[in-house]
Amino acid sequence: MLSAEPVDTIQQQQHHNIATDSLIEDVNLTVIQHPYLDELADKIRTEPIPWQDYQRAGLITADEVAMIEHVENKTPEEVNTIMAEHGLYYAGMYLDLMHKLARVDAVQKVLVLIQDMLNDHDERIALFHQAAASRPEYPFGPFHKALQINDEFIGIQSSKILALLVCSTDNRDIDINDFFRWMTFQLQSRNANLIELNIQILDALFHIPPYRMAFWNTLHAVDTLVNILKKGSSNPQVTYEIVFAIWLLTFDRDIAANLNKKYDVIPTLIEVAKQAVKEKIIRVVVATFKNLIDKAPRSNLSAMLVAKLLPFVEHLSTRKWYDQEVVDDIEFVQERLQDNFQSLTTFEVYASELETGKLEWSPPHQSENFWRQNASRLNEDDRRLLRMLVRLLSTSTQPTILAITCHDIGQYVKHSGNDGRRYLQELGAKQKVMELMTHQDPDVRYHALSATQKYFAMVASSSQQ
Residues 19-73 have pLDDT tens digits of: 333 323 334 444 688 999 999 999 999 999 999 999 999 999 999 999 999 999 8
Summarised one tens digit per residue, pLDDT across range 12-24 is: 334 433 333 332 3
- List, in order, residues 6 or more apart from 110 with CB less than 8 Å away: 94, 97, 98, 101
Task: List the one residue out of 136, 372, 188, 355 whose CA is nearest residue 257.
Answer: 355
Taking residue 208's Cβ as centre, other Cβ atoms within 10 Å add up to 20
Length reported for the chain: 465
Structure confidence at residue 463 (pLDDT): 52
- At the topology level, CATH places domain 175-344 in Leucine-rich Repeat Variant (1.25.10)
- At the topology level, CATH places domain 347-458 in 1.25.40
Average pLDDT of the residues in 216-232: 95
Q: Which amino acid is at 399?
A: P
Task: List the one residue out of 212, 148, 154, 158 whose CA is nearest residue 180.
Answer: 212
CA dist 252 and 174 (Å) reads: 21
CA dist 306 and 322 (Å) reads: 30
Taking residue 307's Cβ as centre, other Cβ atoms within 10 Å add up to 23
The rounded radius of gyration (Å) of the Cα atoms in the chain is: 28
Average pLDDT of the residues in 373-385: 93
Mean pLDDT, the chain, integer: 88
Average pLDDT of the residues in 74-98: 95
Point out the least confidently predicted range of 171-180, 182-191, 286-295: 171-180
Which of the 8 DSSP states describes residue 134?
Answer: T
pLDDT band at 339, cuts 50/70/90?
Answer: confident
Taking residue 58's Cβ as centre, other Cβ atoms within 10 Å add up to 7
Q: Classify residue 249 as exposed, middle or buried by CB count within 10 Å of its CB (0-12, 13-18, 19+).
A: buried
pLDDT at residue 266 is higher than 50: yes
Name the residue with higher pLDDT: 211 or 369.
211
Summarised one tens digit per residue, pLDDT across range 183-212 is: 999 999 999 999 999 999 999 999 999 999
Structure confidence at residue 302 (pLDDT): 85
Give the start-to-end residue ranges of the domains of the chain: 29-173, 175-344, 347-458
Q: Which amino acid is at 84?
A: A
pTM for the whole thing?
0.78
Task: List the one residue out of 294, 345, 409 whose CA is nearest residue 20.
Answer: 294
By percentage, how much of the chain surpasses pLDDT 70?
Answer: 92
Query: Are the folds of 175-344 and 347-458 the same?
Result: no
Task: List the one residue out of 326, 329, 281 whose CA is nearest residue 4.
Answer: 281
Residue 396 contacts residue 372 (beta carbons within 8 Å): no
